[in-house]
Structure 1
Amino acid sequence: MSRLLLLVLLCQIFGTFSNTTRVVPYWNRRSKVEVTLIAEENTGLSLEDIYDNFQDLFNDYGRRYGLPFTKRNLHRVEDFKSPKETPMAKFEAYGVDCAQFQNFLQEIRASNYRLKFAHIKCDNMSFSICKIFRCPESEFNGLERYICQH
């Protein structure tokens, strides 16, 4: 009899507890961010090396802002080449604060990551950053249109 009462009591406690408390992963509290990165031309690196450089960019952001990236909150959705045959990759990241990421991209040395151009799309905003010394407006606008179509 006492075991039955104990079982009923435990069911009541855990039933009430599970109805009132939800555990939400920390990275899920912020929205999904789509990031398209375009590499510099003629780097002499293989495509996988370029994509590893892009992965390093996210890892450095994560270290700076305390967001460890895993396969659950960062993955490469697509990799392709731009109209000028420049390597591009599209990533989805969760838990990224768009304003922080924008500041991070503006502060980094693009040569460390072989980064030429970045387009970021968040829930409430999207922006593009050209990281080369001279960014021709026609090329910048053309790449932005191309990315938005994909």
Structure 2
Amino acid sequence: MMKRKFKVLGHASTWEMVEVLLASEHYTNSSYHSALDDFRNLFDEFAEQSGGHYNKRNLRELETYISGLPVARYGLRNTDCEQFRQFLSGIKAQRYHLQYASVKCGAMTFSYCMAFACDPFEYGRRNTTPAAIGFGRASSIVDTTTMELMG
């Protein structure tokens, strides 16, 4: 019987998918700029800092422009969850025009409000319009980490 070894990366093995939800403060797309471009740049910077590379096998766009808003959900493989969490907590939100980020690694979920007016519960099921959210500057990052209890 052949045993396989899996390297454990931040509470998830390399074959488990890390889910990332990103919300942008950009509500319009132009021929020069898109919220998805900002998100791709964020993943590129993380890969560069961590010595990795993302391609279509280990970075997938699962949903884009959810409910018509600049919110996208991604699936990542071969990603160290703790390293990605530290990266998100150290970035300048204005650089990527981020309003909110959520990372789900196995039983752990990390949520970051990166804008002045941000409700982390608003991004799970968003039923509001862009005008109702507000466009405050990113003055602080709020990390709301939750741990699901496993039965």
Which consecutive residues of structure 1, in runs of 5 or more, have no partner in the other structure? 1-18
3-state SS of 1:106 partner: helix
Which consecutive residues of structure 2, in runs of 5 or more, have no partner in the other structure? 127-151
3-state SS of 2:64 partner: strand
The residue number in structure 2 matching 1:4 is: none
AA partner of residue 120 (structure 2): F
Q: TM-score, normalised by structure 2?
A: 0.67
- Could you list the per-position Cα deviations for residues 80-135 of structure 1 after superposition, in whole angstroms to 9, with x for gaps in the alignment? 245xx631111000011111111101110111111110111111301210111x23
Of Structure 1 and Structure 2, the greater helix share is in 1
AA partner of residue 99 (structure 1): E
Q: Which residue, out of 122, 125, 142, partners 1:142?
A: 122
What does residue range 8-87 of structure 1 map to in structure 2 within 5 Å?
A: 29-30=13-14, 31-42=16-27, 45-46=29-30, 49-82=34-67, 86-87=69-70
Question: Does the 8 Å contact 2:60/2:76 carry over to 1?
Answer: yes
Q: CA RMSD in A?
A: 2.9
Question: Does the 8 Å contact 2:18/2:77 carry over to 1?
Answer: yes
Greater gyration radius: 1
Q: Tell me how far 1:50 sits from its aligned partner.
A: 1.2
User: Are 1:122 and 2:110 an aligned pair?
Assistant: no
- Could you list the per-position Cα deviations for residues 21-55 of structure 1 after superposition, in whole angstroms to 9, with x for gaps in the alignment? 97989x9952310101000145x543972101101
